[in-house]
Amino acid sequence: MAGSCFTPRQPDSPARSATPSATREASSAVVTPTLTMGVEEEFLLVDARTGAPAPLAEPVLAKVADADATRLEATRYQVESASPVAHTGHELRAHLVRSRRHCTDAATVYGCRLVAGATPVIAPGPGPLLIDAPRRHDQSARYGDLTDAFVNCGCHVHVGTLAPETAVQVTCRLRPWLPTLIALGANSPFRDEHDTGHASWRSVVTTTWPCSGIPPRLTSVSAYEHTVAGLIATGAIKDHKMIYWDARPSPAWPTVEVRAPDVATTVDEAVLLAVLVRALVADALSAIRAGEPAPDFPAEVLVAARWRAARDGLEGMAVHPWSGELVPANTMVDALIERVREHLDAAGDLPQVARTLAGLRRDGCGARRQRLVFERRHRFTDVVRYLADATEQQGG
């Protein structure tokens, strides 16, 4: 895969050796602990008996104990929880455990279960797909069957507080690492009782939208707003909320929002993704303060890296964005950890990261674990039951 078209226009190293260590170390100790995190988790509701998606989002949400932290998603089969702002991984974990428990309890009232899986293992039944809301009716009329892709669940990590200009510049610097986050979070091998041949099928189907995938290289707010205005003018998107890139400046909050990973089956995996994103943001801020130019990669390199991450997950190969060559996916994970190690250490996140990564490397990413369950008896209902059980059994 190496060659002239896969050579970055501005070579750099995935480790931090390109920048004087004293500059980075001085800034990391200040930046990382002051950055806050929040996580939005999208869940499927499934019938407790059949495992098929259950169109009960509205009544279930009406029963959730902490109503302010949950909301409807696009379809009648999904609910979303949004954590409060957290300063530490331990604090974030407590928020996520509590919100999952509240949603699980509410689902039980209506004979269904909460599933932290990114695609429906068993197909939804007949009937309206989207919730009855003006925005969803407009999207259905405008995009037709593209709205089928809404039945997918992600883990969205917010890191702030960031000024708009800074959020755009940070987003630009996250681009080469987004495929690695997809590989770590890959949790959607099945769709409608079919093995898709990918570890993250959600990552594949979401790119059917006009404004999705790896974000373009935009280095200023004016460039970002010009791009969004052009997309709105063409009718490709309705508004800022339909920027479905894997990372974006949040349209609602003073944060960078990373949308790349699938929803995580376990809370510990969700926390892992969150603290890694925060460390990457801290690293980007350090580079900005040091006056480093944003690296410029050919789009085809990052597109190839993204697809390979979606297909292989953590167990296969990855495209190295700096060389364009194939390397083990875990090599890119190691490069990410090395890049942000000082930021993780400053925030006290290194032990949590080491424990969770060790478990992933031992047991496999979410997609691998789902396939292992299916291989035992070749029953998709077993996979749904495993996901529901794992979603509920989070500990205190």
Q: Is the pLDDT of residue 183 over 90?
A: yes
Under DSSP, the state recorded for 41 is: E
Question: Which of 347, 137, 171 is CA-nearest to residue 255?
Answer: 171
Which pLDDT tens digit goes with each residue over 57-73? Answer: 999 999 998 888 999 99
* DSSP calls for 199-248: SBHHHHHGGGSSSEESPP---SHHHHHHHHHHHHHHTS-SSGGG-EESEE
Q: Which of 6-15, 234-243, 269-278 has the lowest mean pLDDT?
A: 6-15
Q: What is the CATH number of the domain that holds 15?
A: 3.30.590.20
164-174 and 221-234 helices, crossing angle to 10°:
80
Alpha-helical regions (H) of 37-145? 57-63, 89-109, 134-143
Q: What is the pLDDT of residues 124-140, one digit of tens each?
A: 999 899 999 999 999 99
pLDDT at residue 20 greater than cutoff 60: no
Token readout for 71 is 């909301």
Helix 366-377 vs helix 380-392: crossing angle, to nearest 10 = 130
If you search the block for the tokens 């902490």, which residue do you land on?
Answer: 66
Count of domains observed in the chain:
1
Range of the domain at 201: 4-392
- In this prediction, residues 23-36 reach a mean pLDDT of 58
Indicate the angle between helix axes 329-347 and 350-363, nearest 10 degrees.
Answer: 160
Higher pLDDT, 121 or 67: 121
Q: How confident is the model at residue 32 (pLDDT cuts 50, 70, 90)?
A: low
Q: Give the per-residue pLDDT at 31.
A: 60
Does the pLDDT of residue 18 top 50, yes or no?
A: no
> How far out from the chain centre does Cα 110 lie?
29
Q: Among 356, 358, 384, which Cα is nearest to 370's?
A: 384
